[in-house]
Amino acid sequence: MANMDKTREFPEEDMGSPSEDDSIFEDEGAAEEDFASMLEESLRLPQSFSRGERVKGQVVGMNDEWVFVDLGAKGEGLVAAAEVTAPDRQRSVTVGDWLDAYYLGETDGEIQLTTRISGAEASRALLEDAFHAKIPVEGKVQKEIKGGFEVLVGGSRAFCPYSQMDLYREEAAGYLGQTLSFLIMEFQAGGRNIVVSRRQLLEAERRQRFEELRATLEVGATVQGTVRALEAFGAFVDLGGVDGLIPLGELSWGRVKDPREVVSVGQSVQVHVLELDWDRKRVALSLKRLTPDPWSRIRELLAEEQIVSGRVVSLAQYGAFVEVLPGIDGLIHVSRLALGRRIQHPREVLHEGEEVRVRIESIDSDQRRLALSLESATDAESESSPQPFPPVEVAVGSVVTATVVAVKLFGVLARLPDGRTGLIPVTELLMSKKEGLRRRYKLDQPVSVHVVDVTDGGKRIRLSERAAQEAGEALELSNYLTREHDVKRSGLGTLGDLFKKGGK
Q: What is the pLDDT of residues 104-137, one digit of tens each?
A: 778 877 888 887 776 555 677 778 878 887 888 8
When pLDDT is averaged across residues 442-450 and rounded to a whole number, the result is 87
The HSE-up count of residue 77 (CA atoms within 13 Å, CB side) is: 29
Identify whether the C-beta of residue 136 lies closer than 8 Å to the C-beta of residue 181.
yes
CATH classification (class only), 294-378: mainly beta
Q: Which CATH number fits domain 49-114: 1.20.1250.20, 1.10.760.10, 3.40.50.1000, 2.40.50.140?
A: 2.40.50.140
Q: Which CATH number fits domain 119-202: 2.102.10.10, 3.30.930.10, 2.40.50.140, 3.40.718.10?
A: 2.40.50.140
CATH of domain 217-290: 2.40.50.140
Per the model's pLDDT, the better-predicted residue between 344 and 353 turns out to be: 353
Topology (CATH) of 391-492: OB fold (Dihydrolipoamide Acetyltransferase, E2P) (2.40.50)
Domain coordinates of the chain in residue numbers? 49-114, 119-202, 217-290, 294-378, 391-492
What separation in angstroms does the CA of 251 have from each of 259, 281, 321?
Answer: 7, 21, 20
Identify whether the C-beta of residue 125 lies closer than 8 Å to the C-beta of residue 132.
no
When pLDDT is averaged across residues 392-404 and rounded to a whole number, the result is 80
pLDDT of residue 144: 92
% of the chain surpassing 70 pLDDT: 78
Q: What is the pLDDT of residues 28-69, one digit of tens each?
A: 555 455 555 544 544 444 456 777 677 888 888 888 888 899
What separation in angstroms does the CA of 465 have from each of 342, 376, 378, 433, 468?
Answer: 21, 18, 21, 16, 5
What separation in angstroms does the CA of 50 have from each of 44, 56, 68, 104, 263?
Answer: 17, 14, 20, 8, 47
pLDDT of residue 390: 45
Q: Which of 249, 374, 251, 257 is nearest to 324 (CA)?
A: 374
Residue 363's contacts (CB-CB under 8 Å, 6 or more residues apart) are 298, 299, 302, 303, 304, 369, 370, 371
Pairing of strands 110-114, 66-70: unpaired
C-beta neighbour count of 154 within 10 angstroms: 21
pTM of the model: 0.52
Residue 425's contacts (CB-CB under 8 Å, 6 or more residues apart) are 340, 341, 410, 411, 462, 464
pLDDT of residue 72: 81
Domain 294-378 identical in fold to domain 391-492: yes
pLDDT band at residue 486, thresholds of 50, 70 and 90?
low
pLDDT of residue 378: 42
pLDDT of residue 33: 54
Q: Encode burial over 251-267: b for 16+ CB neighbours within 10 A, e otherwise.
A: bbbbbbeebeebbeeee
pLDDT of residue 1: 42
